[in-house]
Amino acid sequence: MSFTVTTPIYYVNGAPHLGHAYTTIAADVLARHHRQRGEDVFFLTGTDEHGEPVALAAEKLGVTPQELADTNAERFKALAPLLDASNDFFIRTTDPEHKAGVQAILQTVKDNGYVELGRYEGWYCPRCADFKNENEVEDGDKCAIHHIVLTRESEENWFFKLSAFQERLEALYAEQPEFVLPRERRNEALAFIEGGLQDVSLSRGAKLQWGVQVPWDPEHVFYVWFDAPIEYIGATEEWAEANGTTWRDWWRLDEGAANPENPVRYVQFMGKDNVAFHTVSFPATILGSGEPWKTVDTLKAFNWLNWYGGKFSTSQKRGVFMDQALEILPADYWRWHLTAYGPEGSDAAFTWEQFQSTTNKDLADVLGNFVNRILKFTETRFEGVVPAGGVDGHEGWLVHGADRVPVPRVSGGHVDFYAAVGRWILDGGPVPVDPEDAVRTAQVLEAAVVSAREGRVVRLD
């Protein structure tokens, strides 16, 4: 099986913070796991550079949107290697290849009769770059996410006939029970669909010109939420061309993505506030193209990382930003902490106090003791030479359940393993009274050494 693993396409209206690092690291853990199993993996990250939030942020700084995008895209691109992320490619929505792909796919959607001209009037949040329905508006006409006063917009837009895909989306959710994880995010998206889909704006008019131009109406640009997700397809094409391979067998069901001998499984990581676009509007767009594109198999929606009472926010400059974090400690500390204690089942608060306590406990106490004990055990029982127990090179697993997308369970499994083996060694280990016990002792010790050296837990039967 082959795997496509993608992070969110990060918005460039500000600098990257720990929340961005978390989703990048989570995707990296999954990508490394499948590569370790000998499977083909395409791991993608990149930046989303169009839309009103970028235009407004650029205006505030006295620069052009392109200049702001160029500056911040480089900060996100530099972040991946600083975090030791193993992504294969980095893409920007301002790349010419991406723009051409967006125009081609959405032109096909229009040609198939799913686009019409209309007028939108309602509440709009410039920071979300999103129109809001009444149940998304707080008292005082404020955005429920950013808590700023919404603007009342009225403009002529091209509309996507989302309502035409009601039954097909309901069928998609029925056929793929793990299409969205965790279950509460899936239930929210499904409830949105079952509540009755309405047509949505596909473009923005004269008020906003920072975006991909609509080919059949140059006065309009595509709404950023229709522009950005297509980047996943375009990125694969750019990567394949740069590496002399083909991209179509990753994305085209008629050209390899559905090959029964090597099917492609697509896992996408996303913040919970972006789920509706990626699990409702974008799948409908792909269906509307009439082309046999591969759609996501599992979208893992993460909750929010909070910072002393409010969620990490680029636009509000709240949280721990990565230039600060990496000055304080190297990437491995952050990789461990975010993987082990990130917002998996619910929103998670980051505090310096918790970071210090858990890092010392897990890395200094549990892992440190684990390494010291296996070294001492090897010295006393095997004269300092790691026995050949037939484990090194054996197919290894991060931990039971790592094939599934939830990430903190993987780190939790490591901690449990380190602690258990540490206790086993501290208690003296098994006494090799017969050859079978000696073999088992060698296997467990070698498994412990492999785990300490490579960060993978070998499953012993």
My answer on whether 120 and 25 are in the same domain is yes
Residue predicted with more confidence, 401 or 135: 135
Domain that holds residue 106: 2-348
Residue predicted with more confidence, 173 or 367: 173
Region 224-240 average pLDDT: 88
My answer on whether 287 and 374 are in the same domain is no
My answer on whether 35 and 145 are in the same domain is yes
pLDDT digits 0-9 by tens, 53-108 = 899 889 999 999 999 999 999 999 999 999 999 999 999 999 988 999 999 999 99
User: Per the domain annotation, does 361 fall within a domain?
Assistant: yes
Which of 290, 315, 348 terminates a domain? The answer is 348
Which of 302, 318, 348 terminates a domain? The answer is 348
My answer on whether 287 and 426 are in the same domain is no
Q: For the CA atoms of the chain, what is the radius of gyration?
A: 24
pLDDT digits 0-9 by tens, 1-13 = 899 999 999 999 8
User: Per the domain annotation, does 459 fall within a domain?
Assistant: no
pLDDT of residue 264: 94
pLDDT digits 0-9 by tens, 415-447 = 665 666 666 555 555 444 344 567 767 777 777
User: Per the domain annotation, does 290 fall within a domain?
Assistant: yes
**Cα–Cα distance, 334 to 359 (Å, whole number):** 9
My answer on whether 300 and 410 are in the same domain is no
Q: How many CA atoms lie within 13 A of 272 on its CB side?
A: 20
| DSSP 8-class letter at 214 | P
My answer on whether 303 and 396 are in the same domain is no
Range scoring the smallest mean pLDDT among 201-210, 301-310, 351-360, 404-413: 404-413
User: Per the domain annotation, does 103 fall within a domain?
Assistant: yes
Residue predicted with more confidence, 232 or 446: 232
Distance, first Cα to last Cα, the chain: 24
Q: Report the domain count for the chain.
A: 2
**Cα–Cα distance, 14 to 429 (Å, whole number):** 53
Tell me if residue 222 falls in helix, strand or coil: strand
Backbone CA torsion sign across 168, 174, 178, 183: positive
Which residue spans within 303-446 are E strands per DSSP? 305-307, 310-311, 348-350
Q: Do 153 and 122 touch, CB atoms closer than 8 A? A: yes
My answer on whether 220 and 270 are in the same domain is yes
pLDDT of residue 431: 43
- Mean of pLDDT over the chain: 84
My answer on whether 445 and 320 are in the same domain is no
pLDDT of residue 268 exceeding 90, the answer is yes
CA distances (Å), 344 to each of 167, 245, 273, 407, 408, in order? 31, 36, 14, 7, 7
Overall residue count recorded for the chain in this entry: 461
My answer on whether 329 and 364 are in the same domain is no
Task: Tell whether omega for the bond before 387 is within 30 degrees of 0, i.e. cis.
Answer: no
My answer on whether 355 and 234 are in the same domain is no
User: Per the domain annotation, does 390 fall within a domain?
Assistant: yes
User: Per the domain annotation, does 64 fall within a domain?
Assistant: yes
User: Per the domain annotation, does 190 fall within a domain?
Assistant: yes
My answer on whether 322 and 392 are in the same domain is no
The enclosing domain of 266 has a CATH number of 3.40.50.620
My answer on whether 320 and 360 are in the same domain is no
